[in-house]
């Protein structure tokens, strides 16, 4: 079967479609053609450690909508803005335990569990239930970054030693990507928040 990689180039504000008079979101990402139909691939399974030292697996997030980004603590460029937008997202869904934020470090050698705990505390995140800061095997994290539409590479000449995109990606309860945004663009993040509400509405029907 031929595997096709498809990346939507439009902003998240254009991702909302209509079906039977109810807003819905498309499934995005890589797919295969099977008997002429698109069969999409979910985000791969993972096993990582959060800022409290707990092992987090995909199965632990069953029934949760995941909002994911990739960062590193010593990032001197885009990460402070990216995390400020993640804080806005957390505020938007602070009362909804169906939503969990996942921030993956792309510098696991330096970003230990203890370092992530300190970083989370400085952001005002006092418990991991809704916002997990994750570390683990670097290759596994970088493979996940690919699944989440993110670029993450070691780049000695880049500020901080890594090159990465600031994309924020939303994954549904079945593990499929449904929308994403440039995490440095407030308007796109606003659209992502609204699209996540659409996705939550799907769970209620």
Strand partners, 3: 32
Query: For residues 39 and 94, what is the distance between their CA atoms, to the nearest angstrom?
Result: 33
Q: Is residue 8 classed as helix, strand or coil in its secondary structure?
A: coil
Asked if pLDDT for residue 136 goes beyond 70, the answer is: yes
C-beta contacts of 91-96 below 8 A and 24+ residues apart: 92/193, 92/196, 93/130, 93/196, 94/130, 96/200
pLDDT bin (cut points 50, 70, 90) of residue 76 is confident
What pLDDT, in 10s, does the model give residues 144-171? 998 888 766 554 565 555 556 889 999 9
Residue 1 has pLDDT above 90, yes or no: no
What does pTM read for this prediction?
0.85
pLDDT at 11: 42
d(CA 87, CA 119): 13
DSSP string, 84-98: HHHHHHHHHTTT-TT
* pLDDT single digits (tens) 4-52: 333 443 344 344 444 456 678 999 987 788 888 888 889 999 999 999 9
Residue 69 near residue 149 (C-beta atoms within 8 A): no
**pLDDT over 70 at 88, yes or no:** yes
Residue 56 pLDDT exceeds 90: yes
Query: What average pLDDT does the segment 105-122 reach?
Result: 95
Check whether 176 has a pLDDT greater than 50: yes
State whether the Cα torsion 108-111-112-113 is positive or negative. negative
pLDDT of residue 144: 92
Give the model's pLDDT for residue 148: 87
What is the pLDDT of the chain when averaged over all its residues? 85
The domains found in the chain, sorted by start residue, are: 3-203 (3.40.30.10)
């Amino acid at each position: 079967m031929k595997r096709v990689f498809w990346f939507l180039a439009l902003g998240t504000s254009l991702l909302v479609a209509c079906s039977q008079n109810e807003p819905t979101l498309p499934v995005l990402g890589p797919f295969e053609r099977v008997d002429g139909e698109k069969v999409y691939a979910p985000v791969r399974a993972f096993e990582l450690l959060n800022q409290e030292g707990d092992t987090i697996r995909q199965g632990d997030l069953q029934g949760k909508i995941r909002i994911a980004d990739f960062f590193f603590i010593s990032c001197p460029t885009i990460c402070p803005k990216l995390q400020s937008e993640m804080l806005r997202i957390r505020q938007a869904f602070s009362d909804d335990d169906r939503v969990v934020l996942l921030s993956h470090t792309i510098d696991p050698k330096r970003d230990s569990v203890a370092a992530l705990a300190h970083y989370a505390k400085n952001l005002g995140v006092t418990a991991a239930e809704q916002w997990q800061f994750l570390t683990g095997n670097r290759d596994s994290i970088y493979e996940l970054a690919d699944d989440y539409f993110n670029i993450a590479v070691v780049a000695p000449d880049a500020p901080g030693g890594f090159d990465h995109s600031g994309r924020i990606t939303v994954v549904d309860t079945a593990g499929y990507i449904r929308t994403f945004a440039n995490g440095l663009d407030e308007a796109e993040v606003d659209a992502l928040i609204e699209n996540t509400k659409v996705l939550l509405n799907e769970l209620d029907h």
